[in-house]
Structure 1
Amino acid sequence: MMSSTTGRARAAGLTAALVTSLGVGVVGASSAVAVPSTGVMIAEVYGGGGTSGATLTNDFVELGNAGSVAAALTGWSVQYLPAVPSTSTVWQVTPLSGEVAAGGRYLVREAAGSGGTTPLPTADAVGTIPMSATAGTVALVESTTALTCKTAADCAGDSRIRDLVGYGSTAVVRETAPTANLSNTTSGARPALTDTDDNSTDFTVGAPTPTTSTPPPPPPPVASISEIQGTTRLSPLDGQRVSGVTGVVTAVRSFGSARGFWFQDPTPDVDPATSEGLFVFTGASTPGVQPGDAVTVTGTVDEFYPSGTPTTSVHPSTTELVGASWTVESTRNTLPTAEELLPGTVPEDFTPEADGGSIEALLLRPEEFALDFYESREGMLVGITDAGVVGPTTSFNELIVTSKPQQNPTARGGTRYAGYDEQNGGRLLVTSVIPFSQRPFPKVNVGDRLDGLTAGPVDYNAFNGYGILATELGTEVAGGIQRETTRPQRDNELAIATYNVENLDPGDPQDKFDRLAEGVVDSLADPDVLALEEIQDDSGPTNNGVVTAGVTLERFTDAIVAAGGPRYLWRQIDPVNNQDGGEPGGNIRVGFLFNPARVSFVDRPGGDAVTAVAVEAGPNGKPRLSVSPGRIDPLNVAWSSSRKPLVGEFVFNGKTVFVVANHFNSKGGDEPLAGRKQPPSRISEIQRLQQADAVRAFVDDLQAVKADANVVVLGDINDFEFSPVVSRLTAGGALVDLITTLPENERYSYVFQGNSQTLDHILVSGRLKTVDYDVVHINAEFFDQASDHDPQVVRLKPGN
């Protein structure tokens, strides 16, 4: 329809020859010549949105401005009338606002259907009109008041109508002749913004092409995987949308809430610092790709931190693509060859340092540092042949292997943590993306191996550092380690042991009590005195105010008798509710078991949760305890939310021995070995140093009364033999840490992240004659554990 009054008059003349009746219009012949409009007109109509077979979810009307200046639309409307209106039919109205630029487009979104998959571009106006997919009438009106005309002649006489499109052969209201029929998948559109006042001439039928006034954003820049990964731990494209990222799918994670796939560029660049692998995160949706698919991916680059935020996380990030879409270009392609990690592949030095700050911005030097090496292979396929196991299978279906079997080896096939600068970079976590129904996860011990190739993409795990997400798993071969036993003590030897029984409470299965008891009887050979760590109260972790532990200890000592051991008695002190750390409600504590047939306990009343034990000079000038059992300085801030040490006075063959049972503050809160900050901060050490000072002060008090007093300090110190904490206890030779008397490859009682290490200790006064000392390996190296700690025992000959 013409945009001028003259044009409208001409249009009225064209319809004068119409024979009309309500709902019927027959077009008469006309020789009039139409003049192209130079203003705003209807450019496209589509009523099939959301219907069966449709791709688009909504109907729409698109306007176009053929003029040379912008046209204001505020106060205008788009209106719709069914193809064959009845007497009760009314025009439906969608108001417009804003303007349409010269030569520009303006998109009006109408009703949505229940089908379709693709939303419209951002619309300039939004209505709710459900248009017919095949036929109807759309008017562009210089008003928001609903039209009343029901025939072509009446509408031609309405000066508010700027343009009119009757689409589909049955449309009654139209300009001259209607367009051809439309469908669920086709629209009527003007190939050019020209108006001849003949809908059949001006509009063609084809696939809908909705265009908004907002110009579509330029396509994301094309990037390669190596360009995304960059030469530091952080992508130079972090937060940016990228496209055209190509590679071959190497692994798919189709379970859990962190699903996605890894793909790798088969044509790497020449920079060894840039990884050629990348993870595409799909959330809870299973990606429809398979290993061997060649894909082209579009997505947003993101640095994912497994805990915390970019400013608070202690762990490094993993570079990935999120909000991704992809095209499978071909299938069944050969996968890139996994890089084999030989003993000399990973550098010996573990990490660059940043004076305790983040190493994320440092340029990667994969030829110098193990952590840089793994980061430069993030998402890439690597593999180890005949991998030696240094960390047993856990309940989370994970294990740890090493590519460097001669790196600080233990006597039983592990890798020993020998110092803060010996983190053992050959260690790698192994998890699996293979469904367990196809390949059950291996159940292996330290010293076993996975024969053949174990391979997959490199990933970072918040609990265990860098690892392989296995797409191939070697075959389990036993290394042959056995659970150890120690010899029984002789009549003139006092056997004192320590055992962390890992949150023991009455709610544990009987099997745990039985296995711990067998460890006491069969492996430790019924020690005379046993210091226990992690005894919980009689209701376990139920936070109900219960603090007594008699049920727990009775059940344990009953199990020892059932295993063939002696009837042990116990001594312990109930803590103040929820003041000693551990599981909330568990009221964890240390305690003593002792065999009354071999040793006696000196009971002095008055010891409770808040009363400090003191050293007194007895009638014979020898030291004695003010209370027995008693707690060392329990109100000292050193023991805040931590287990208090328990002291007992024992008598063996007429000689007094003071035993101090300990469970120092845990390492929770320390920064990880493979973390983003290097060197990692040992935050928890501050409290353990205070605890060591308190225990050492008590030992000094004993030795001040009698220099050669028989003193044994033992338990879970939660620190290493080379640590400042243990050095505080041993300073000046007051105590000897017996773990240091063993060969270096035997100095461990615990395995963490594949590092065999010492957390448990037995320290004795320098003049106490030690016959022998033994760490009895029955738990830490095995996937089937009664506890996560190995017990220790010392056999002594107390002096006078």
Structure 2
Amino acid sequence: MSHISTPRLPRSAAVGAVVATALAAGLLVAGSSAASADEVRIHDIQGATRTSPLLGQQVGDVAGVVTGVRGYGSKGFWIQSPDGTADGDAATSEGIFVFTGSAAPAVRPGDAVRVSGTVGEYVPGGVRSGNQSLTQLTKPTVTVESSGNALPEPVAITATSVPDRYAPAGDPARDGSIDALPLRPRAYALDRYESLEGMNVRIGSSRVVGATDPYNELWVTVKPHENANRRGGAVYGSYSAQNGGRLQVQQLAPVSQQPFPKADVGDVLRGTTEGPLDYNQYGGYTLAARELGDVQDRALERERTREQGKGELAVATYNVENLDPGDPQAKFDALAEAVVANLASPDIVALEEIQDDNGAKNDGTVSAEATLKKFTDAIVAAGGPRYAWRSIDPENNKDGGEPGGNIRQVFLYNPERVSFTERPGGDATTPTEAVRVKGRAALTRSPGRVDPGNAAWENSRKPLAGEFVFRGRTVFVIANHFASKGGDEGLTSHHQPPRRSSEEQRLLQAQAVNGFVKDIREAQRNADVVVLGDINDFEFSGTTKALTDGGALRAAITSLPRSERYSYVYQGNSQVLDQILTSPGVGNRFSYDSVHINAEFAEQNSDHDPQVLRFRP
């Protein structure tokens, strides 16, 4: 898995503690006096930067019309000045969220209200997350003056109203933060969204770029031509191509009252979607829909790769998302069907996230024999070959992932087309090494782990290396599952560029694998080496640069057109996480396919798309 998700818990009433933490850290500055009630309007509270100039102050009788109500999770409601441009300043929002804590809001859209309360800045996910803050009123006293009023006219968010540039550079004097910078909504996408925080907004018919997820949310783009690909997604092709047209869409109505639509990438959220513009930790700027359009199904199909030729070796990688014997048989069957029908039964399949025989039960079990038997049996039942497997059991709870699950990489191989060269002695802590035997490279242990004692692999999966023989030619395969992106800041972080702290470990991991490949090539310069797996990083990342350093490897996915380079969809960005890299011995005469069967769909068997490489050793 690429991004560790924290549980979706309702926001607690401990807003004051979060603000206090921010104040203590010097990230936010509170005002020093109470604001005069007859002077304060919503735009005065919002101000022209990302944080309120009235933070921490008591304000009274702030007037507005209710534009949306949320009675679950983070309970509260949004109010907006009836005149959407009350102060004529495009940088100052005329809407704001009123947080009611554990109490369900006692207002309805169209109520004209006056609110007294404390100005706060809530940081979704906590100050350490790097997220921007949401300006709000807390501990409110609410007076309803009238009901049934017309709502403020929604602001249209369109391809032309959202700037192409994503965010300003952070202020070096403020640790790279953009919080104190004056908003420039005509220059930057993030500034445009921030200037509309809390306001009633709408989008017209928009293409879905992130499928409906289990939390009843999806992603659309208001910029239909922004890095679009042929299947309807928005490709994340560099750190400066953030796709600012993306917006998360949720609905204000509880799912029990109004089911959330199922949508795949490429579908269209048709008609008008309208409601307040929120900000949360699970994607940043989010349209909290009071009115939700309907989904037009564009019938996106799951891809099937071609079958390998008689003289071609097909090698694949597939993250099967915490597979264990306790999963429903339907999951095993669906994954098996994908291997057989969508991947055309590759000769070698490197699996990631195979769990031990009792899954997340944390009792010291490390064997995955039952998991693998159930999976390979399902492949046979789907019409595929009887795969053999090779793996090394990890030490208990030493390889990260779900506690007790003991995920690991596994080689499946079709013994009717490929043989495995067995060299005993490999275990969880003993490294395999590359040596020269009779003029050719060989591994001292096969299967074996690559440099398992290296600190780069602390609490992370260790690479699995093995020797295979296809039509008399030895091929070295190294299966990987690099460290997660958990802990990285999101694209909407108040630090710009966002901090990607997880890269530090992956960089060390990439250097270790690169060094091992160089050892193989030193023993035999023209050796065929395939490095593959869930690399958890982009094809343009420092991790990939370290893997390919010195020409030891080539990222095969770069042979595809840029619009087809992705294996995962995160927050509406189609991006590369799963990779296959090849040594110069493999040459340039290969075919590569990122087989899109999961990441773009609401119904998934895994959150990753498998990758297949075919070449002639």
Asked if Structure 1 and Structure 2 have the same fold, meaning a TM-score greater than 0.5 normalized by the shorter chain, the answer is yes
| Equivalent of 2:436 in 604, 609, 617 | 617
**Paired position in structure 1 for 2:137:** 321
Whether the 8 Å contact between 1:408 and 1:415 is mirrored in structure 2 is: yes
Would you say how many aligned residue pairs link Structure 1 and Structure 2?
Answer: 578
Distance 2:610 2:36 in 1: 63
Distance 2:227 2:467 in 1: 40
Which segment drifts farther, 312-321 or 628-637?
A: 312-321
Distance 2:176 2:591 in 1: 45
Are 1:515 and 2:334 an aligned pair? Answer: yes
Are 1:416 and 2:209 an aligned pair? Answer: no
| Equivalent of 2:126 in 299, 308, 328 | 308
**Paired position in structure 1 for 2:354:** 535
| Equivalent of 2:517 in 699, 713, 735 | 699
| Equivalent of 2:115 in 282, 297, 319 | 297
Distance 1:727 1:651 in 2: 29
Distance 1:283 1:517 in 2: 47
- State the TM-score, normalizing by the size of structure 2: 0.92
**Paired position in structure 1 for 2:267:** 448
Which segment drifts farther, 486-495 or 347-356?
A: 347-356
Distance 2:201 2:110 in 1: 16
| Equivalent of 1:689 in 496, 500, 507 | 507
**Paired position in structure 2 for 1:670:** 488
**Paired position in structure 1 for 2:535:** 717
CA-to-aligned-CA distance 1:31-89 (integer Å, 9 cap, x gap)? xxxxxxxxxxxxxxxxxxxxxxxxxxxxxxxxxxxxxxxxxxxxxxxxxxxxxxxxxxx
**Paired position in structure 2 for 1:56:** none
Per the alignment, in what secondary structure is the counterpart of residue 375 of structure 1? helix
Report the alpha carbon displacement of residue 527 of structure 1 after superposing the two structures with TM.
0.3
Gaps of 5+ in 2: 1-33
Per the alignment, in what secondary structure is the counterpart of residue 794 of structure 1? strand
**Paired position in structure 2 for 1:341:** 157
**Paired position in structure 1 for 2:66:** 249
The residue correspondences of 1:68-217 to structure 2 (distance < 5 A) are: none
Whether the 8 Å contact between 2:35 and 2:54 is mirrored in structure 1 is: no
The residue correspondences of 1:549-560 to structure 2 (distance < 5 A) are: 549-560=368-379
**Paired position in structure 2 for 1:481:** 300
**Paired position in structure 2 for 1:642:** 460
CA-to-aligned-CA distance 1:141-165 (integer Å, 9 cap, x gap)? xxxxxxxxxxxxxxxxxxxxxxxxx
Aligned residue type for 2:72: F
Report the alpha carbon displacement of residue 710 of structure 1 after superposing the two structures with TM.
0.6
Distance 1:534 1:645 in 2: 13
Report the alpha carbon displacement of residue 616 of structure 1 after superposing the two structures with TM.
1.3
Quote the sequence identity (%).
58
**Paired position in structure 2 for 1:39:** none
Distance 2:123 2:300 in 1: 38
Per the alignment, in what secondary structure is the counterpart of residue 416 of structure 1? coil
Aligned residue type for 2:450: I
| Equivalent of 1:708 in 526, 539, 554 | 526
Per the alignment, in what secondary structure is the counterpart of residue 204 of structure 2? strand
Distance 2:455 2:100 in 1: 48
**Paired position in structure 1 for 2:614:** 795
Per the alignment, in what secondary structure is the counterpart of residue 227 of structure 1? helix
Aligned residue type for 1:341: I
CA pair 730-263 structure 1, distance change in 2 beyond 3 A: same
| Equivalent of 1:232 in 46, 49, 52 | 49
Are 1:331 and 2:140 an aligned pair? Answer: no
Report the alpha carbon displacement of residue 436 of structure 1 after superposing the two structures with TM.
2.6
Distance 2:611 2:163 in 1: 35
**Paired position in structure 1 for 2:585:** 767
| Equivalent of 2:249 in 406, 409, 430 | 430
Per the alignment, in what secondary structure is the counterpart of residue 415 of structure 1? coil
| Equivalent of 1:752 in 560, 564, 570 | 570
Whether the 8 Å contact between 1:221 and 1:242 is mirrored in structure 2 is: no
**Paired position in structure 1 for 2:15:** none
Distance 1:669 1:261 in 2: 30
Are 1:630 and 2:452 an aligned pair? Answer: no
Q: Which has the larger radius of gyration?
A: 1
Which segment drifts farther, 258-267 or 394-403?
A: 258-267
Whether the 8 Å contact between 2:35 and 2:59 is mirrored in structure 1 is: no
Whether the 8 Å contact between 2:78 and 2:198 is mirrored in structure 1 is: yes
Aligned residue type for 2:161: T
CA-to-aligned-CA distance 1:317-362 (integer Å, 9 cap, x gap)? 1111111111111111111111111211111111112245221111
| Equivalent of 2:40 in 209, 223, 226 | 223
Per the alignment, in what secondary structure is the counterpart of residue 328 of structure 1? strand
Q: CA RMSD in A?
A: 1.3
Whether the 8 Å contact between 2:529 and 2:585 is mirrored in structure 1 is: no
User: Looking at both structures, which has the greater relative contact order when contacts are Cα pairs under 8 Å and sequence separation is at least 6?
Assistant: 2
Whether the 8 Å contact between 1:387 and 1:454 is mirrored in structure 2 is: no
Distance 2:580 2:552 in 1: 13
Which segment drifts farther, 276-285 or 785-794?
A: 276-285
Whether the 8 Å contact between 1:750 and 1:789 is mirrored in structure 2 is: yes
Whether the 8 Å contact between 1:222 and 1:244 is mirrored in structure 2 is: no
Distance 1:795 1:477 in 2: 36
CA-to-aligned-CA distance 1:480-499 (integer Å, 9 cap, x gap)? 21000011111111100000
Aligned residue type for 1:386: S
Distance 1:298 1:254 in 2: 20
Per the alignment, in what secondary structure is the counterpart of residue 283 of structure 1? coil
Distance 2:385 2:115 in 1: 68
Aligned residue type for 1:791: P
Aligned residue type for 2:613: V
Distance 1:220 1:646 in 2: 66
**Paired position in structure 2 for 1:780:** 599
Structure 1 runs of 4+ aligned residues shifted over 6 Å read none
**Paired position in structure 2 for 1:263:** 79
CA pair 340-220 structure 1, distance change in 2 beyond 3 A: closer
Distance 2:72 2:546 in 1: 49
Gaps of 5+ in 1: 1-216
Per the alignment, in what secondary structure is the counterpart of residue 278 of structure 1? strand
Are 1:277 and 2:277 an aligned pair? Answer: no
Report the alpha carbon displacement of residue 733 of structure 1 after superposing the two structures with TM.
2.5
CA pair 330-705 structure 1, distance change in 2 beyond 3 A: same
Whether the 8 Å contact between 1:226 and 1:276 is mirrored in structure 2 is: yes
Distance 2:462 2:529 in 1: 18
**Paired position in structure 2 for 1:583:** 402
Whether the 8 Å contact between 2:248 and 2:287 is mirrored in structure 1 is: yes
Aligned residue type for 1:343: A
**Paired position in structure 1 for 2:168:** 352
CA-to-aligned-CA distance 1:582-608 (integer Å, 9 cap, x gap)? 111111111100011110101110000
Distance 1:560 1:385 in 2: 45
Aligned residue type for 1:264: Q
| Equivalent of 2:279 in 460, 466, 470 | 460
